[in-house]
Amino acid sequence: MPEMSFDFEGLIQMIANNLYSEKKVFIRELIQNAHDGTRRRALVDGSVGRIDVDTRPQDLEITVRDTGIGMNRDDLVNYLSNIGKSLTKQEREHDDTLIGQFGIGFLSAFVVAAKVRVTTRKLGEETGWLWENEGSKEYRLTECEVAVPGTTVTVSLAGAEDRGMIQEGEVRSLIRHYADMLTTPIHLNGSQEPENTMHLPWEKSGLTDEQLDIDLRFYVERTLNDRVLEAIPVQLRGPVRAEGVLYINRDRVFTTNQPRTIRLFHRRMFLCENQQDVLPQWARFVNGVINSPDLTPTAARDNFLRDDMWAALRDALGNLVIEHLVHLRDTQRERFAGIARFHRMSFASASYYYSEFFTKFADLLLWKTNRLPEEPGNDTVPDPLDDIGTGVALRTLPEILERLPGTPDQPRTLQCVTGMDAARQYFKIANAAGTTVVDASFVFEPELLDAYTKLPGVSLRLVHIDREDSPSGDAIFRQPVGGDATAVQALADRMSAVLRTPHNHSIRTEARVFEPPEIAAVLRTDARTTAQAKAEEVLLDPNSPPGIREMAESVKRLTRGTGQWLTINAGNPLVQRLAEHRDSTNHEVQQLMLALYHSAVLANGQLITAHSASTFHDQLQQLMGRSLEALDLEERCKVLDDRLRAAQGRRRSGSGARADYRTFFMITPFADHYDPLIGAVREVVEHRWGCRLVVARDQQEHHRLLENVQILMDGADGFIAEITHSNPNVMFELGAAFTDRRDRPVILLREEQASANGAALPADLRELLYISYTMDDAELVEKLRAKMSKSTDIQELLKGSNHAVYISRQRLAQLIAPVVLEPMVLEALAARYATAQDWLTAEADEVGRLLGQGNQEFAPIIVAKVRRGVSA
């Protein structure tokens, strides 16, 4: 019978162009054959075996040598030289770690080879064989000396352009990529340590769960250079066998077609990666390394057939992910919560798009809910919303439902919020009302919460408290009653007529009572319009075309704010005060109404637009201006209050009150010419009368001159005015003194020379008595004392026993002489001990502290001298 013939070179070209995607695959095939040889020998004598790869790029040669079972002449003729016939396939029933299957892998060497030499000797035989082929269907087979059993394959490259693929670094990378799991050690260029891992973390025995987790993470990060959030060991025993590791990584997934890192091994030899359908479609957040002996590889060994075993593996891996997350939820809640928060978008999108995942995962989804003050905080995790002081908990829906009141035969009522960023205010409201609210405002969550109510065995009714059309909103938002109800409702009606959104939509306003009272208003909405719902559906779909997404964004932007209800709190003090202002045409009232609305917009967050932000800015500027005006007014009031307190402090005290010294304010022009007069008056007032003399230029109580003078005058018990030249400032201050209603005495002084020259006084002063003086009079002090003391008003002021004797700084210096103190120390003593009564009760230790180091020993002397002086 005639036999079919074939073109060897044409076959090699077909293999190169259609079967193997890369030339360097021939190294993988040679290592695979070497591995099968060592495994067949292990079945005979139990040896581990070894594979050595030697590269000689300068000679364009690479050698793969093994200590396996080797081949004899029959093996070389019947299998190596017989295309498509595989000895490994026939023996796999004895060892399922054997890899070879189709008998064509050896031919891959001829894609790059000018010549292939095989030297081999079979275990138990003495004869060695040399098989040579130079790239044709003809080969040479001769006996040769081979020292030990095993096989050596040497490939001589046909062209220098392929030298790069047999460089040491490239071959090392290839070994670790394809053969890392093989249990036979592979050495490169005589290396002491094998290049492949061989023993994988999931194969080690005696490890604790924590140790296994650490080893799995290290393996993934070393092998795949990926960051692991959670590692899931894989040990499947049936209906499909598989081992390895799945892991949830630290990269968030935002699309349904995001690439994944999944490496697939067949009988421990790498076959392919990134086959998305080896895991369920929903598992976009899962990557892994999987080895399975039960999958069926393609002839090119670069993929697997999509058969029943493939489908079984996909389902088993998906179930394993769910089971692991359930176990974490039940045993390590904080760890589970960290994963659920990190991949919140992934879990939500998978639940939204894949019903089979939602059915399995619905009870594992975490939802934000308020935590009532009396509830324990062990399920509470840090959350950005907590920056306003609202306790936030992450809980599954079954956990939330357990906390709700109700009976098994009646559906429970769950209050929820679906407006984006609106949960903060509603959490505070719910806490104040002592009820539970779920935040379902995140992407996909409104639809998922609604879908949960339709699951078998779930009896749940949703109440959207952030919607005006919610049928049970009055559980939190109650109708106002009582005296303020009518006024606040009238305010709501006026606001409905006045307020408009940036797109000129009316803002319907209602009055309700809700807790806590410090929240003035909240924004609620009607159910979404059809256009809004469709726009959101388009935006939720990551595969929506860009043009359609732009249209949806426009629809959402234009309809933002439609169907808004502003609910004002009738229990809020600001709302109650605003309700008292009934003139809605008043600009200030309208601004306050708008501010009330904007406070709700800020609390909501979702409705903030560029226009509203600009309005907030303008209102803030106005508020800052009014605040500054209020600060100025407050400062003026404080000055007036200080004046009143000072004046009250200077009044004559009643019986039993501590006496205070008397103060005279001297009204005089600011000129050095009057210094001698001021000195003489000071001698009389302070040293003879025991009162204090204040001159505006020497005492500053305020940074403004006029305010300073007013403060000093308010605190004075009497006035002494120099009126010689009718100085305008003197006249102004003198007028203020005369108009005072406290009847404080006023003494007028005038130089005699001016009187003699006929200098005229203002008409209002001509009839008043004044004291004449001469500036250079040697007896000026005594003459002033004698003349001023004749005033009955002065006598009345000085004769009381309920005022203290003032000790000025100059007087103190005189009393303690010959002790001389620095001016600052003297000033401190005079300020602390301002009266004779103060010195009579002074303690030497306290005086010593004011004197400071170096002068403390003078304290007893100073106290004694002052006491003697004031007693005399």
Strands 61-66 and 128-133, bridge-based pairing: unpaired
CA 401 – CA 130 distance, rounded (Å): 77
Tokens found for residue 840: 């009579």
Candidates 328, 325, 326, 315; CA nearest to 356 is 315
Quick one: pLDDT at residue 19?
54
Mapped to the 3 state alphabet, what secondary structure does 685-699 carry?
HHHHCCCEEEEHHHC
Whether the CB-CB separation of 658 and 686 falls below 8 Å is answered with no
Crossing angle between the packed helical segments 587-604 and 610-650, to the nearest 10 degrees? 120
Quick one: pLDDT at residue 10?
55
Quick one: pLDDT at residue 386?
40
pTM of the model: 0.60
* Tokens 């779930």 belong to residue: 458
Tokens found for residue 739: 């108009």
Kindly report, residue by residue over 602-627, the tens digit of the pLDDT.
776 655 666 666 776 777 777 766 76
Whether the CB-CB separation of 40 and 99 falls below 8 Å is answered with no
Consecutive H or E run containing 73: helix 73-75
Quick one: pLDDT at residue 225?
87
- Phi first, then psi: what are they for 235, rounded to 5°? -145, 85
290: left (phi over 0), alpha (psi -120 to 50) or beta: beta
CA 162 – CA 154 distance, rounded (Å): 15
Strand order in 437-439's β-sheet?
392-396, 366-370, 437-439, 412-417, 460-464
Strands 564-569 and 692-695, bridge-based pairing: unpaired
Candidates 694, 675, 674, 672; CA nearest to 754 is 674
Using CB atoms within 10 A of its CB, is residue 616 exposed (0-12), middle (13-18) or buried (19+)?
middle
Number of C-alpha atoms within 13 angstroms, CB side, residue 71?
A: 28
Q: How remote is the C-alpha of 45 from its chain's centroid? A: 64
Determine whether domain 201-329 maps to CATH 3.30.2320.50.
no
Strands 718-722 and 746-751, bridge-based pairing: parallel
Quick one: pLDDT at residue 110?
82
Tell me the CATH class for 8-188.
Answer: alpha beta
Amino acid in the structure at residue 589: V
- Phi first, then psi: what are they for 358, rounded to 5°? -60, -40
Quick one: pLDDT at residue 145?
94
Whether the CB-CB separation of 36 and 112 falls below 8 Å is answered with no
Q: Buried (b) or exposed (e) across 380-391, using 16+ Cβ within 10 A?
A: bbeeebeeeebb
CA 261 – CA 251 distance, rounded (Å): 12
Tally of helices (H runs) and strands (E runs) in the chain? 30, 25
Kindly report, residue by residue over 771-808, the tens digit of the pLDDT.
889 988 889 999 999 998 888 888 888 876 567 889 98
Candidates 295, 304, 260; CA nearest to 279 is 260
Torsion of CA 162, 166, 168, 171, to 10 degrees: 120
Strand order in 269-273's β-sheet?
228-236, 242-249, 286-292, 262-266, 269-273
CATH number of the domain located at residue range(s) 485-624 in this protein: 1.20.120
Kindly report, residue by residue over 70-126, the tens digit of the pLDDT.
999 998 888 887 765 555 555 555 555 575 543 566 778 888 889 999 999 999 999
* Tokens 């319907």 belong to residue: 508
Select from 1.10.8, 3.40.50, 3.30.559, 3.30.1450 the CATH code of 365-473: 3.40.50
Kindly report, residue by residue over 559-593, the tens digit of the pLDDT.
555 557 889 999 999 999 889 888 888 888 888 88
Quick one: pLDDT at residue 265?
93
Residue 351 vs residues 174, 282, 328, 356, 461: alpha-carbon distances, Å = 39, 8, 19, 8, 20
* Tokens 């008409």 belong to residue: 763
CA 14 – CA 111 distance, rounded (Å): 10
The CATH homologous superfamily of the domain defined by 663-799: Toll/interleukin-1 receptor homology (TIR) domain (3.40.50.10140)
Whether the CB-CB separation of 301 and 295 falls below 8 Å is answered with no
CA 251 – CA 50 distance, rounded (Å): 39
pLDDT less than 50: residues of the chain: 1-6, 16, 101-102, 380-389, 472-473, 529-530, 647-659
Quick one: pLDDT at residue 4?
46
